[in-house]
Chains A and B, each alone.
Chain A
């Protein structure tokens, strides 16, 4: 269900999960746009030579995925905070799931707190955090 006002938000509600595009082409597009165009993000072999499991999805791109999930759920949401911990790397060309759960609602101000995770196919959490968003009160 698309959220339009704070009255549409339910405590414990799971945001519609989505699978972000972590292909090399898309991560490279992001890296160039962000000014983070380093081989560790855009070249599997170069990343492996640095001791990494492969080219990495930048942590800040994961923040972007999480913010995008919020806007897919509540198009009018005003993101006020995204606070993330990068627990383990996400590797380009692997599949991840972007998830969120509503953990607090202030119906007077419209502020909603959402717990965020990025998980891999094994269900392991790679990134976790919290977002605070403002949802229209009417």
Chain B
């Protein structure tokens, strides 16, 4: 395990951790909470705001609100300082419905760097994928975390 002060070996991290599912759980969505979620965001379409609508479904950005139970893979190195949230991306594919079992699986989707005069930034893209009981993919949500490394002297 490298010291938190050492630069991260990005290629080694990619080889060891990319695309391996490290968190998985099954859950259900509550219709009334989905409707509250949508209405508080200003949604007006009844398929998002009215649980009695025959096509009632979660709002498209719901995936961003779901979080893995384990933040990082086992044995992932610690790094100095706090990782900052660099953004969120949500890609719905099929409707997520209330009251049915859904599964969330999380993997490290990408690790990459950007360098400049002030040092190097390392980005970690954590992807959650959501599927139904028949294992149909319903969508995904990416969270990007960035850490800034100090230049080596």
Interface residues of A (CB under 8 A from B): 18, 20-21, 26-27, 29-30, 32-36, 59-61, 63-69, 71-72, 75, 79-86, 129
Classify chain B: how many residues form its interface, as a range.
20 to 34
Identify the closest chain A residue to B48 (Cβ).
Answer: A71
Chain B window 78-89, contacts with chain A (Cβ cutoff 8 Å), 1 for yes, 0 for no: 000000011111
**How far, in whole Å, are A32 and B65 apart by their CA atoms in the complex?**
11
Would you give 21 A-B contacts (Cβ < 8 Å), ordered by A? A29-B40, A32-B36, A33-B40, A60-B65, A60-B88, A64-B37, A64-B42, A64-B59, A67-B43, A67-B61, A68-B43, A71-B45, A75-B45, A80-B91, A80-B93, A81-B91, A82-B64, A83-B88, A83-B90, A85-B86, A86-B87
B60 touches A61 (CB 8 A): no
Contact check, B37 vs A84: say whether CB atoms are below 8 A apart: no
Given that A33-B34, A35-B65, A36-B65 are contacting pairs, would A67 and B88 also be in contact in the complex, using a CB cutoff of 8 Å?
A: no
User: With an 8 A cutoff between CB atoms, is B12 at the interface?
Assistant: no
Specify which chain B residues have a CB less than 8 angstroms from the CB of A35 in the assembled complex. Answer: 65
Whether the pair B41, A67 counts as a contact (CB closer than 8 A) is yes
The secondary structure that dominates the A interface is helix
Complex Cα–Cα for A69 and B61 (A): 13
Please, which residues of chain B bring their CB within 8 A of the CB of A80? 91-93
**In the complex, how many angstroms separate the beta carbon of A5 from the nearest chain B beta carbon?**
17
Interchain CB contact under 8 A, A72 and B44: yes
> B69 an interface residue at 8 Å Cβ cutoff?
no
Q: Which residues of B contact A71 (CB under 8 A)?
A: 43-45, 48
**How many angstroms from the CA of A82 to the CA of B139 in the assembled complex?**
12
Could you tell me the distance in whole angstroms from the C-beta of B43 to the nearest C-beta in chain A? 5
Taking CB atoms, residues of chain B closer than 8 Å to A33 are 33-34, 36-37, 40
